[in-house]
């Protein structure tokens, strides 16, 4: 065989030039309806999104908290990144987060659990019951109350008065004990989730911007609207977690010190309760301070009661009307009642993390409402229809003559 046979090309049919990709795709789309392909792709995409959500759902709280905390500490990461490699900067930032958040929480939970136990034991002791009985008898509170009830042919004994108070105190105490036991029993789970959150924060600090732009590119909304949504989330998360957290810490620490100075039992427990209620814009720390001041007045300590009320007004007013406006400014525009209902509803739905999730849900709705009013409202309303703005309508009603009103 001639050696050139090894280099002989195989026999092929007549040459057919390859169609450009656009022509081939167009021909395929001519045979298959575009809508069918689009719906098939959307079904596959939604199925993959559903499965991805099921996959990440057990860790959704950890992921959200990691995103919020990484957004808060990102300016610190940028400072470190100017002086070292980004990976080292991210690792150092995570180390600081560990020291700032994990160590105080673990130490504090132990102290708080011991304080709750002591409070519950002392509340059920005979000594406290005798002190309460002596308080009512020495001030003739029961006699005055029966004097009022006599007009309705009613009479109240001391045991009947104390029974609902005792039941309520026992119920509250058992609830607090159960919560403390739940925290202690889930301590290992908390440690695992915290380190998982640190790992999420580490990679979000490094690649968070790429993830954000991936979501923006994936979203069918215009880029400016996606950025507006993310900025609102970032601002609200910072306001809720940082500003309200610092405000609650200030009010809780000062309130706990004041209660310890006045001789109240379990001042750490009261301080924690004040730090928690400080997140509620309408109720606030008054739900702890006001009953304490009333108790001091009933005991005859008028000076201490007045001093406690003065501290409450200065502390609450200073934080709400001086500290928060100076830090937040006008970036967060949300009605006080909406914040209150968002936190209460969030606590009911999501537990303790509802303090963050509730306002974020309301922020999501309000931001979408603003985008709708600016970009999509004209597409929904009939052409040529003129709407009267609510402020204009309100002014026109206020300008009416008094006799014209019904």
Angle between helix axes 141-149 and 158-185 (nearest 10 degrees) is: 120
Same domain, 347 and 271: yes
Same domain, 195 and 239: no
pLDDT for res 202: 93
pLDDT in tens, 115-146: 666 666 665 555 556 666 666 666 666 677 76
pLDDT for res 50: 92
The residue from 175, 205, 235 where one domain ends is: 205
pLDDT for res 122: 61
pLDDT for res 100: 85
End-to-end CA, the chain: 115
Residue 187 lies in a domain: yes
Residue 86 lies in a domain: yes
Same domain, 230 and 306: yes
pLDDT for res 48: 93
Count of H-run helices and E-run strands, the chain: 19, 0
- Compute the distance between CA of residue 120 and CA of residue 27 in angstroms, rounded to an integer: 78
Residue 348 lies in a domain: yes
Same domain, 119 and 233: no
- Which segments of 57-85 does DSSP mark as H helices, in order? 60-81
| Phi, psi dihedrals of residue 399, rounded to the nearest 5° | -80, -5
- Compute the distance between CA of residue 70 and CA of residue 233 in angstroms, rounded to an integer: 13
- Compute the distance between CA of residue 74 and CA of residue 78 in angstroms, rounded to an integer: 6
Same domain, 63 and 199: yes
Residue 36 lies in a domain: no
pLDDT for res 133: 64
**How many structural domains does the chain have?**
2
Question: DSSP code of 154?
Answer: -
Residue 394 lies in a domain: no
pLDDT in tens, 216-238: 888 888 888 888 888 877 777 77
Tokens linked to 172 = 């509250």
Same domain, 254 and 362: yes
Which residue range(s) make up the domain with 81? 59-205
Matching residue, tokens 């049919």: 13
Q: Is the pTM of this model over 0.75?
A: no
Tokens linked to 299 = 């005991």
pLDDT for res 401: 47
- Compute the distance between CA of residue 113 and CA of residue 174 in angstroms, rounded to an integer: 13
- Compute the distance between CA of residue 397 and CA of residue 277 in angstroms, rounded to an integer: 40
Same domain, 189 and 226: no
Residue 174 lies in a domain: yes
Residue 262 lies in a domain: yes
Same domain, 145 and 251: no
CA 35 to chain centre: 41
Same domain, 267 and 345: yes
The residue from 205, 236, 252 where one domain ends is: 205
pLDDT for res 61: 83
- Which segments of 32-157 does DSSP mark as H helices, in order? 34-56, 60-81, 86-97, 103-123, 126-138, 141-149
Q: What is the mean pLDDT of each run of 10 residues along the chain (406 residues)?
A: 43 45 48 76 91 89 86 88 91 91 75 66 59 63 70 69 62 60 67 89 90 85 83 75 80 88 82 82 82 81 87 85 68 72 82 79 84 79 56 48 45
Same domain, 196 and 226: no
Same domain, 75 and 169: yes
pLDDT for res 347: 80
pLDDT for res 164: 66
Largest CA distance in the chain: 130
Same domain, 174 and 227: no
Contacts 24+ apart (CB under 8 A), 56-59: 59/193, 59/196
């Amino acid at each position: 065989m001639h050696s050139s046979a090894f280099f002989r090309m195989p026999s092929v049919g007549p040459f057919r030039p390859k169609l450009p990709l656009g022509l081939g795709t167009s021909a395929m789309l001519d045979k298959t309806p575009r809508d069918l392909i689009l719906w098939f792709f959307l079904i596959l995409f939604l199925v993959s999104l559903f499965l991805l959500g099921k996959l990440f759902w057990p860790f959704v709280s950890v992921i959200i908290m990691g995103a919020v905390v990484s957004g808060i500490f990102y300016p610190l990461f940028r400072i470190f990144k100017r002086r070292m490699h980004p990976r080292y900067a991210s690792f150092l930032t995570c180390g600081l987060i560990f020291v700032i958040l994990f160590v105080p929480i673990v130490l504090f939970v132990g102290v708080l659990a011991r304080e709750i136990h002591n409070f519950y034991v002392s509340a059920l002791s005979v000594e406290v019951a005798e002190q309460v009985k002596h308080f009512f008898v020495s001030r003739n509170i029961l006699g005055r109350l029966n004097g009022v009830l006599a007009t309705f042919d009613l009479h109240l004994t001391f045991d009947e008065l104390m029974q609902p108070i005792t039941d309520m105190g026992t119920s509250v105490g058992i609830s607090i004990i159960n919560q403390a036991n739940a925290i202690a029993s889930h301590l290992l789970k908390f440690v695992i989730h915290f380190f998982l959150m640190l790992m999420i924060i580490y990679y979000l600090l490094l690649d968070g911007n790429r993830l954000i732009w991936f979501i923006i590119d994936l979203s069918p909304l215009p880029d400016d609207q996606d950025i507006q949504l993310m900025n609102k989330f970032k601002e609200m998360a910072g306001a809720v977690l940082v500003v309200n957290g610092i405000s609650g810490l200030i009010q809780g620490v000062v309130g706990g010190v004041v209660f310890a100075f006045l001789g109240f039992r379990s001042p750490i427990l009261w301080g924690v309760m004040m730090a928690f209620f400080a997140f509620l814009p309408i109720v606030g720390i008054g739900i702890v301070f006001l009953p304490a001041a009333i108790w001091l007045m009933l005991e005859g300590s008028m000076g201490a009661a007045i001093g406690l009320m003065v501290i409450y007004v200065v502390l609450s007013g200073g934080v709400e009307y001086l500290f928060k406006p100076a830090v937040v400014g006008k970036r967060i525009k949300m009605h006080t009642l909406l914040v209150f209902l968002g936190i209460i509803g969030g606590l009911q739905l999501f537990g303790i993390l509802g303090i963050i999730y509730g306002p974020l849900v309301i922020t999501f709705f309000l931001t979408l409402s603003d985008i709708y009013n600016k970009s999509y409202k004209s597409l929904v309303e009939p052409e040529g229809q003129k709407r009267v703005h609510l402020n204009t309508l309100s002014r026109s009603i206020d300008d009416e003559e008094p006799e014209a009103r019904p």
